[in-house]
């Protein structure tokens, strides 16, 4: 399976690359290293802080992706997806179709830049991930996000990725999301209702408030699981809720050393894991740590 090697260009977006420029972040991943910062921001709407370090030489086909991350911007959703395709982040027609069908602008608050290839604040010390990371995770899960299957998004945030999953799963599929901030759950429902209300009315999308580390056992098993925040280790309940031949994608690690990990459950129930790329996500935390009661 190919690795998604996403390289940023400082000259393209200098305003995005202004923190954590530390040599300790450098780590080789299949001949190169990529780091993506999904940092919490304040509710004032201040820009998210992003970082990237790269080392090593790209060769062969990897030169084709040497300029793609953080550069897939647009003024509209169509332009954004066009850029993601042009920059070889989206390669599957099904992922392309889903991201064209679900308008990212409906899932970002007013005053943000939904079609910039960067995380955007969605309130409650949370962000919606950069488009290239959503596209990459959907590509990694494309074989599991088949019509009629079931998927779970842990830390669904604005509801965007759940909606993309629902589109890929078709009318007979089920996409579930869990978020520990109830206000975000309600905002996500509003967002999906403004974009594709039929996903909610038909039961294709179900959003729940709770501890995402525990998953949603009553709706398991899931063919695809996506976790949108970093955990020190892979939560056992999520492994238990992964279907046979299912796949989970999640960031694992601490604040400055994380890997995007692919977890595959085999036909005999055993689990295989592999590192896909280096990343930096916000941690999967307790609700009180992310948004204390005011």
How is the chain split into domains, by residue range? 14-290
Looking at residue 132, its pLDDT comes to 95
Total-model pTM: 0.78
Measured at the alpha carbon of residue 40, what is the angle toward residues 39 and 42, in degrees to the nearest 5? 135
pLDDT tens digits, 6-65: 333 222 232 232 232 222 222 222 222 233 333 332 222 222 223 222 223 333 333 333
Tell me what percent of the residues of the chain surpass a pLDDT of 90: 66
Measured at the alpha carbon of residue 284, what is the angle toward residues 138 and 205, in degrees to the nearest 5? 45
pLDDT at 218 over 70: yes
Backbone angles phi, psi at 280, to 5 degrees: -135, 115
Q: Which residues pair with 278 in a beta bridge?
A: 259
Q: Among this protein's residues, is 129 annotated catalytic?
A: yes
CB 207 within 8 A of CB 179: yes
The H or E element containing residue 259 is strand 258-265
In three-state secondary structure terms, 182 is helix
- Token couple for 172: 């007979």
Q: Is the domain 14-290 a CATH 3.40.50.150 member?
A: yes
* Catalytically annotated residue among 129, 136, 158, 188: 129
């Amino acid at each position: 399976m190919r690795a998604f090697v996403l390289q940023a260009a400082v000259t393209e977006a200098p305003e995005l690359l202004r923190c954590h420029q530390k040599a300790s972040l450098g780590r080789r991943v299949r001949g190169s290293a990529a780091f993506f910062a999904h940092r919490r921001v304040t509710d004032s709407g201040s820009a998210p802080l992003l970082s990237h370090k790269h080392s090593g030489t790209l060769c062969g086909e990897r030169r084709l992706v040497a300029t793609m991350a953080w550069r897939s911007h647009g003024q509209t959703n169509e332009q954004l997806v066009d850029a993601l395709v042009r920059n070889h982040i989206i390669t599957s027609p099904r992922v392309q179709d889903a991201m064209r069908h679900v308008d990212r602008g409906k899932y970002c608050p007013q005053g943000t830049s939904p079609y910039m290839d960067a995380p955007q604040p969605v309130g409650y010390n949370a962000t919606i991930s950069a488009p290239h990371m959503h596209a990459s995770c959907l590509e990694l899960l494309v074989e599991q996000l088949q019509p009629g299957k079931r998927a779970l998004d842990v830390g669904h945030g604005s509801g965007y990725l759940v909606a993309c999953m629902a589109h890929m799963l078709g009318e007979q599929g089920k996409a579930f999301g869990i978020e520990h901030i109830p206000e975000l759950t309600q905002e996500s429902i509003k967002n999906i209702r403004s974009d594709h209300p039929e996903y909610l009315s038909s039961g294709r999308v179900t959003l729940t408030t709770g501890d995402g580390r525990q998953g949603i056992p009553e709706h398991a098993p899931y063919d695809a699981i996506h976790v949108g925040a970093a955990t020190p280790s892979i939560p056992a309940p999520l492994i238990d809720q992964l279907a046979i031949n299912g796949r989970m994608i999640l960031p694992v690690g601490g604040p400055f050393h994380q890997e995007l990990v692919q977890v595959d459950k085999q036909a005999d129930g055993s689990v295989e894991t592999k590192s896909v790329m280096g990343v930096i996500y916000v941690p999967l935390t307790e609700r009180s740590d992310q948004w204390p009661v005011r």
